[in-house]
Structure formats: structure tokens, C-alpha cells
Chains A and B, each alone.
Chain A
């Protein structure tokens, strides 16, 4: 009999102790209800098994806590990481495209390159009323200046956005390195604690949270090993975290794998490359290029790269980079180059189609071939046909720095091939284009009626030159700027840009909605399994409290039984 009483007391004691443990787990769950990344814990109870020699009747030895485990599903965690990467890309791309879109206003209140182009050609039309009117000439020059100024500012706005995305890339890679270090450090803590037989729940939660944050930046593969450590790699297998070692990524503007000239950015700087340096010699870095691998996946860093643009190693032009901002800027660059070449050639009275048929360079060998009008005050043709003052021979438009191209940098009137050749010096023309005519009275509205060399006869009422220029309003240009091609009139090319940004921004906004929904769904799935439910915890609380009270009552019953036995003596 006394054996059973002892048995009752032991079982009751284990019950009291286990219910207390359960209450403690519940309290911990409730406390962490709002802790980000926390996975609820669950105590697994096991009936105590009688060890050793069995008595005649084995009623058991009570209960014990087998294990306190975090409720966690690796698959749901992975789904959430993927959704987080997609959201990272979508939000980043959307942010930059929403900002890029601001320069393409559809309302008439804000000036845009499109409206300025219209007003510029409108001013040419207006000048046909009275081509010698100083007011109308000044108006045309001013409209030209407004147009070039808007091209400059629109292009510079996009170039600044590109620089900002590039700068943010550096910060994001620092965060990636910080997270990699944290994951590696937590790997160490987990393996140490779990080797002692203790579940490292808090550290695992913290590591999962760090991996989640990392997946927002980059697409990573996570492989958990038998000892609890995780291996974190990029899609191409590059190890970011290997057990307790984190690999540091770097951003550099001087990658060792490019031996020639490094392509410039839209603002004539160099874009950052994401690399791993596997050399210990600071003077002789050996870089592995990870930029394209990261750009081809998802995450904030990928979003930044795809917005900013990514160069191939062999690229030489800022417009060869594949990226949304670069593509948008290419439309402004295309319009600028068309103005600097074909518009100027027509303005100077040269039929651009003749350029090709006569070898692209003959017109300046014989000034007689120039049938118009504009005689730049500071520009001259020299006998050899080379330009002694290049900037003045562009015509209506030139660009900042054109005078620095030097005598003989190109022969003939500047054409697209000349602009391509000069690109290494200037990078782009959209940020530099300007009106070459400062004195509106120099504006040539008519053609030179005297074809004799060095003899100009421009009649003040002649609008022939204006008529020629007006034909350019509808002329179809075929432009190739770096990796991007466009065809159409100048206004149509601008509209192509509007169409492109509209589609990109709309798509980015949809992607954000989709990514938000996907992430919410993934988080819901994850929370359904791992999140804390107060209803559940409070129900458990009542349940565990009742069990504790029952065990306590049992203890009193056992005590009474013993008392009865004692009283028998």
C-alpha cells in the first residue's frame, strides 16, 4: 500500500513540476507574441517509464518534459524567403521608376521635352510669318534653349537616379556582409549550444530572421546541415556563409577582370561592380564578378542593378548597360544626337543623304556645295576641308565642350559617326547639348542665294531654311544608342520613352501588389504553423492551470491517505 502512496506522491510531484514547465512555455510564447521572427515553442510530454525490476502492478511513474521544441517548418520558411526576395526587387524597382516617371508629365502645367519639342517647331512655324522679325527670331532661339535645357535636366535627373541606385548598392552590399557575418556567428552559437543537448531556439529564430532579411537583399539558397549549421549560397553556388565563415562581398569601380577601359555611367562616372576579392594583396586584387549573377535573380540588390543597368565586360558606352534608367536616358540621347547631326545639317543647308553618297566628308572641301546661309561668325572652313573651329560648325545646336574637340578631330559636318568617335571624351550629349546661336540676328531663315564661295546672299523674307527645318518635324529617324534602338520622328521617339516608362512603372506597381500578396500569403502560412495564437495560449494556460490544481489536490489526497495510515498505528 505504502508503495502506491509513494507512487501517487511521485506522480503528483512530476505533474506539478511539468504543469509549471508548461505554464512557463506558455508564458514565454505569450511574451513573444509580437517578437519578429519568433517561432512558438511547444513542450513535448512523455509518460515516465518504470525502469529496473517491475512490481506486481506497474501503474507508471508520472510525467516528464521530453523536449521543448520550436514549431518550425523549413519549407514554409523557404517560401517566405522567395516571396521576400521578389518583394525586395518589386519595391526597389517601383520606387525608382515612380521617381523616373515624374519628368514625363502628362498635364500641360509641367514642361516636358515633348511639349518643348512642339513649341520649338511651333516657333519655327511662327517665324515663317515674318522671318526677319527680331522678336520671332529671339523666340525661336529661346524655345531652342528651353528644349535643350529640358533635355539636359531630364537626362541629368535620370543620371542622378542611376548614381543614387549605384550608391545605394554599396550600402546594401554592406548590409549583406553584416547579415552574412551574423548568420555565420549564429551558426557557431547554435552548434555549440546544441552539442550540449540544449535546443538553441532563440538563436535559430534569430538566424532565420537574418536569413529572411538577407533574402530580401539577394536570392540565396539555404542548406541546413546535420549539426544545425546552415550553408548560404548564391544561385551559382558561391558561398556567402559556410558554417562559421562569412564571405565578404565588395563593391569596386576598378574590377581586375576588366583590362581595357571601364564603361562610364550616364553621368560620366564608373558604376560599381559586385565582386569577391580572392587575393590577400591589397595592391593586386583578384576579383570574381558576381554582378551579373546577382542581377539575374531577385532581391533589393538585383532590383537596384536592373534599374541602374549592368554592363558586360566588353562594353564601352554608358548606353550599352542593360537597365531601365539607361533605356529611358537613351531616348533623350537619341533626340540630342539627331538635333546635333541631321537638324544641324539641314540648318546648314546640307542634304544629309548626300553625305553618304559623297563619302561622308566632301562638303567642306568645296564650300560651294553648301547652299545655305548660316555663316557662323567664328567658324570658318579651311582649305583642306578640316574644321578650324569645330564648335561653330555644328549649326543651330552644339554641345558644351564641342570647342575642345580640337582642329581636325573630325572632317566634314559632324555626323553620328563623329559623335560616336567623340563619345569617349564626352560620354553623352544629352546633358551637354545647347543652342549655338547667342545672337538671334545670326539665325538663318533663308538659303544662300549666292552660290559663289565666301559670298552670302540671304534675303530677310526668305523662309526656305525654315521650311526645310519644318520638314524635320515629321522626318523618321532611325536611332541606335548603345543597346537601344528607336525609330520615328523626334516627337514619336519622345512618346516611345513615355510609353516605355508608363509600361515599366505600371508593371512595377503590379509587381509590388503581387509580391505584397505573395509575401502576406507566405507569412500567413508560416504564422499559421509557427506564430503565437493568444487564443491557443490562453486556452492552454487555463488547461495547464487546471492540471496544476488537480495535481495539487491529488497531493492533498495522498497526504490524507498517509495521515489515515499513520492514524492506524
Chain B
């Protein structure tokens, strides 16, 4: 016959009460915090939980940056469409003025409109967003197009004498092909924010300046900065030919520099859309999986809590019953 000692009953009861209480505490905490894994020992998936949290944080930041870049690209698209309109208007004027019905004087007065277009294009090329020059490339704290200290000539109007050129990098880099401005949109993907102004605007500005100077009466060799003045009426035909040449240059600059950049903007926006949908997918799937791993399954936890409470109550009752029964009551 097995003997049952008094302390044996008591210590067994105390251990069972403490285990049941621990369970009540565990499930109570899970329900009140909404989280079933607060510390690494709570789940064997704790490294995965941390990985998913990192992924969510990273994708959140990528999504914010994508929106930032998108806003920048949309603004640029508007800017470049304005530039396109300027080039279309300049080509119209050049086409009109190439017609020999216009006198040299009439051409000279049209030059003013070309200078206005040129200045407008320079303003566009020197656009600032977030206090940075969009087309400055990596040197975005200086305007990309400055007035050259060496003017074309001292002849002609003030606008005609003023010469704009791409003035990046101070001091000039010794490396060729310095990088474009770019930003990160996913873990291993960068997207170009803007192209260096030299690539997009230099030829357009040069062709406008050549046209303006031709209309004013100078045959200018840009960029060599040499010129000859047309002597009227002898050089009227020569002036006409020069104006016609600039029509090709205007069209070439628009087609080869501006249009590809506008197309590239569209492509970059598509990349952003793709990156965004991918990041959103990764973000939502990570959140769903994280919730599965970390969030409390309330019905499950509530059931477990009820069971634990019932066990605790039962152990209290048993303790009370067992410790209250004594042989002394029957002696």
C-alpha cells in the first residue's frame, strides 16, 4: 500500500496551481496585447518574424520613395512638354522666316520672340524642385545653364550677345561620364530621377541661339563661337539658307534629345508602377504572414484561457477539498 504524506499532497497541489496560473497569465497576456509572440522564446519562428518586420519596414520606405520620385517625374513631364511646345513654336517661326517674303528687317524683329523662347527654355532647364536643380545631374546645387562669360560678340541685341551653356561640376570632374541622379525604389533597383541637362537641353538652346542670331543677321558657328555678319541684301539668300539649316537642327534636337527624354520619363513611370505593385504585394503578403505568426488567434486564445481558468479553479477547489478533509473529523 502506498503511503500518502501530508507534504506530498500540499507540494503537488502548489505545483499544479502554479502551472495553471502560469497558463492563465500566458493566455491573458496574449489576448490583452493581441500578440502571441512578444519575445524570441515565444515562437520558434522569431527570426522569421524579425525578417518580415524588416521587409515591411523596407517596403514601406520604398513605397514612400516611389511616390516621391513619381511626383518628381510627373512634374518633369509637364516641364518637358512645355519645352516641346517651345521647340514647335520656334520651328514654326523658323519655317515662316525662311520664306523669302520676309525682309531682313522683319526677320530681325522676329528674333526677339526667339530670344524669349530661348530664355524660357533656359528657365525650364534650370527648374528647381525641392530646392535642387532638376537637370543639374549630380551637381544639383548650381544652375546647370549659366551665361557664359565669353559672349558671342559685342554685336547685336543684348539677348543675342548672351550665350548660355551647360555649366556643371565645379570643380570639373576628371572622370568621364559622371553618373545621373538616381534613387532607390526597391532592395536592388535604382531609378534615374533626371537626366543631366547637357544631354537634354544643350542642343536645343544652341539651335535656338543659332536661329536667333541668324534672324538678327549673323551666321554663327556654335560652339566654336565664330561668326560672320550677313551683308544685306547680298547675303539675303545665305541668311535664308542658314535659317533653313536651323529648322533641321531644331527638329534634330527635339527629336534626338527632348523626345527620348519624354519617352524615358514615361518608361521610368511604368517602372515605378511595376515596382510599386511589387512592393505593395510584398508588403501585404509580409503583413499577412506576420499576422499569422505573431497576432493572437483570439478565439483560440480565449478557448485556451477558459480551459486554463477552469483548470485553475478546479485546482483551487481540489486544494480546498483535500486540505479540509481530515481524519480528525471522524474520530
Contacts and interface: CB of A to CB of B under 8 A. Distances in A.
Contact of A106 (B2, B6, B42, B169): B42
Contacts of B6: 33-34, 531-534
Interface string B48-62: 011101100110011
B212 interface: no
Given A459-B169, A464-B179, A505-B41, A533 B5 contact: yes
Interface stretch (B134-142, B221-229, B264-272): B134-142
A541 B173 CA distance: 107
Interface centre among B5, B33, B136 (most CB of A within 10 A): B5
Interface in A12-41: 33-34, 40
Contact of A529 (B3, B50, B130, B181): B3
B171 A132 contact: no
Nearest to A523: B11
A125 B181 CA distance: 13
Contacts of B119: none
Contacts of A34: 6-7
Contact of B61 (A125, A461, A462): A125
Interface string B178-191: 11011110011010
A538 interface: yes
B271 to A, nearest CB: 15
Interface centre among B39, B68, B169 (most CB of A within 10 A): B39
- B interface, over-half SS: mixed
Contacts of A108: 53
B138 A446 contact: yes
B2 A119 contact: no
Nearest to A371: B175
B4 interface: yes
B57 A463 contact: no
A516 B15 contact: yes
B47 A495 contact: yes
A494 B2 contact: no
Interface stretch (A175-183, A203-211, A394-402, A448-456): A448-456
Interface residues of A, number: 71
A89 to B, nearest CB: 18
A367 interface: no
Nearest to B62: A125
B182 A531 contact: no
A18 to B, nearest CB: 22
A105 B140 contact: no
A371 B254 CA distance: 37
Interface string A504-545: 111001000000100010011001111111111011011000
Interface in B34-86: 35, 37-44, 46-47, 49-51, 53-54, 57-58, 61-62, 65, 68-69
B51 A495 contact: yes
B162 interface: no
Interface string B113-142: 000000000000000001010001111110
Given A104-B40, A106-B37, A115 B3 contact: no
Interface in B188-230: 188, 190, 193
Contacts of B50: 106, 114, 491, 494-495, 498
B57 A461 contact: no
Interface stretch (B243-251, B276-284, B304-312, B323-331): B323-331
A44 B4 CA distance: 21
B256 interface: no
B8 to A, nearest CB: 4
A333 to B, nearest CB: 19
Contacts of A425: none
A126 B47 contact: no
A117 B184 CA distance: 17
B7 A459 contact: no
A168 B75 CA distance: 67
Nearest to B37: A106
Interface centre among B38, B50, B174 (most CB of A within 10 A): B50
Nearest to B191: A128
Nearest to A495: B47
Interface string A355-388: 0000000000000000000000000000000000
B15 A499 contact: no
Contacts of B173: 449-450, 457, 459
B174 A452 contact: yes
B12 A520 contact: yes
Contacts of B65: 125-126, 128-129
Nearest to B182: A463
Contact of B294 (A106, A498, A520, A539): A106
Nearest to B133: A461
A375 B58 CA distance: 31
Contacts of A199: none
A568 B49 CA distance: 105
Contact of A451 (B2, B174, B182): B174
A121 to B, nearest CB: 8
A505 B40 CA distance: 8
Given A524-B8, A542-B331, A501 B139 contact: no
A176 B229 CA distance: 110
B5 A463 contact: no
A278 B141 CA distance: 77
A158 B53 CA distance: 24
Given A132-B141, A449-B169, A470-B184, A102 B40 contact: no
Given A499-B47, A539-B327, A528 B5 contact: yes
Contact of B139 (A101, A460, A496): A460
A58 B55 CA distance: 98
Interface string B229-260: 00000000000000000000000000000000
B41 A491 contact: no
Contacts of B39: 101-102, 104-106, 502, 505
A462 B196 CA distance: 12
A106 B139 CA distance: 43
A449 B42 contact: no
A465 B93 CA distance: 47
A491 B68 CA distance: 27
A354 interface: no
Interface string B142-182: 00000000000000000000000000010111110011011
Please list the 3 inter-chain residue pairs (A to B) with the smallest Cβ-Cβ separation, ordered nearest first. Answer: A531-B5, A502-B40, A505-B41
Given A523-B8, A534-B6, A536-B3, 8 more contacts: A125-B184, A132-B141, A450-B171, A451-B175, A463-B138, A467-B184, A502-B39, A528-B4
29 contacts: A105-B39, A106-B38, A114-B53, A115-B57, A118-B53, A118-B54, A118-B57, A122-B58, A125-B61, A126-B65, A129-B69, A129-B193, A130-B132, A450-B174, A452-B174, A459-B139, A461-B132, A462-B178, A462-B179, A463-B179, A467-B182, A502-B39, A502-B41, A502-B44, A504-B41, A524-B11, A533-B4, A533-B5, A536-B3
